[in-house]
Amino acid sequence: MKKQKICIIGDGLTGLTAAMALSELNIETHLVINSKKSSKILDKRTTAVSPSNFQFLTKLLKKNSSKFFWPSSRIDLYYEQDDKYLHFMNFENQGKNLMYVIENHILKKILLKKLKNQKNLKIISEPASKIDEKKSVVFFKQKMISYDLIILCVGKKSRLTEKLVGKRFIENNYNEIAFTTIVKHKSKIDGSKQYFLNEGPLAILPINQNQFSLIWSVSKKYNLNNINYLIKEKLKKILKFEKKYEISEIDFFPISFKLNINFSRKNVLILGEGSYNIHPVAGQGFNLILRDIKKLYEEIDKYLNLGLQLKDSSIFSKYTSYRKPENLIFGLGINFVNRFFKYDKITYQAKKILLKDIDKLKFLKDLNLKISDTGIFK
């Protein structure tokens, strides 16, 4: 039987990780990247992955890859109240690591290097111009290639995605913007931290002993003209920073909750931010995507082991029926958390009472750790 063929379009973390995973299977895998565009863009964001996803990633990336991730064995949550930062919950698991943080551009560099040595993978360094989902064909400038399955990992604003599934989606526009930067310091930072501030949630994720990633979500109405000064003032208050520290270049990106009604059409699947995107407050975005990739790998592997044809199969519908509910529940749950912690004079006292003893609820903390690590339907 002729080896079956799949195409993955996209050179972001989703596309590269999917290509790394699926090229381990006994199929011919093509990865379509826009090399000119990719080389010019440096993603300054960071990614925090759960323990189970860390195992999955490092197994894919093989030897020596774990050294690029910085572990956190403790997560502390704070809530701003009367100009004070009250510690209301912490997560620990008998000294075990709860998350592993890596800079996106480093992870991308590792993936690209490893992909060049994958024997079942061919990299096509030119953009796809069109997709025919009925015939399962990808068009390029001067050629067209037929595939059994096509996987689109091109983000939420791609014309390829819009053409495929249209504009039918569940959406909540937060009217917020997130900014991220790397802070170099000489102070001691113990574990990762999440602050629910009046302006919006701020996360501190150490990436090594003397640097951490800062992610802060605020209203689009917020005055960002002097953002460096605002960050420095906030760090003085919440971390009591006195020693010298440096703030690197700041990146901004809009935030919304969005879930496409359709994840696939015929033999084409949308994977990653093209199918959904969620608020960064809980750091679950890429963790959900990694679980998506694991499930997709499992479904394709089942068909191959049974000697079944991938084209015109029910692989994508089975994948969607399994993964879409969890993605929706996570999105709505994180949406609720973000709304709950927004500064509101009316609910101020209610929050104060509810958060007072929440750290004593061990079952709630254990459930949160489990779901954050392996998902809901494990």
Confidence (pLDDT) at 288: 97
Q: Is the pLDDT of residue 332 over 70?
A: yes
Q: Is the pLDDT of residue 266 over 80?
A: yes
Nearest-CA neighbor of 210 among 250, 238, 243? 243
- Apex CA 273: angle with CA 63 and CA 198, to 5°? 100
Distance CA 253, CA 198 (A): 20
What's the pLDDT tens digit per position in 156-208?
778 888 888 777 778 888 889 999 999 999 888 889 999 999 999 999 999 99
What's the pLDDT tens digit per position in 108-139?
999 999 999 999 999 999 999 999 998 999 99
What is 5-47+105-172+255-364's CATH number, 3.40.718.10, 3.40.50.920, 3.30.930.10, 3.50.50.60? 3.50.50.60
What is the domain partition of the chain in residue ranges? Answer: 5-47+105-172+255-364
Q: 78 is written with which tokens?
A: 């704070």
Residue listed under structure tokens 């029910």: 314
Distance CA 216, CA 231 (A): 9
What percentage of the chain exceeds 70 in pLDDT?
97
Which of the residue ranges 182-191, 234-243, 271-280, 315-324 would you say has the lowest mean pLDDT? 234-243
What's the pLDDT tens digit per position in 22-49?
999 999 999 999 866 655 567 889 999 9
Q: What is the mean pLDDT of residues 253-271?
A: 91
Confidence (pLDDT) at 1: 65
State which H helix or E strand residue 362 sits in.
helix 362-374
Distance CA 10, CA 132 (A): 17
Which residues are CB-neighbours of 27 under 8 A, at least 6 positions away?
3, 4, 5, 6, 120, 148, 300, 304, 310
What's the pLDDT tens digit per position in 343-365?
787 777 888 888 989 999 999 99
Q: What is the mean pLDDT of residues 61-75?
A: 93
Distance CA 331, CA 322 (A): 15
Distance CA 283, CA 177 (A): 15
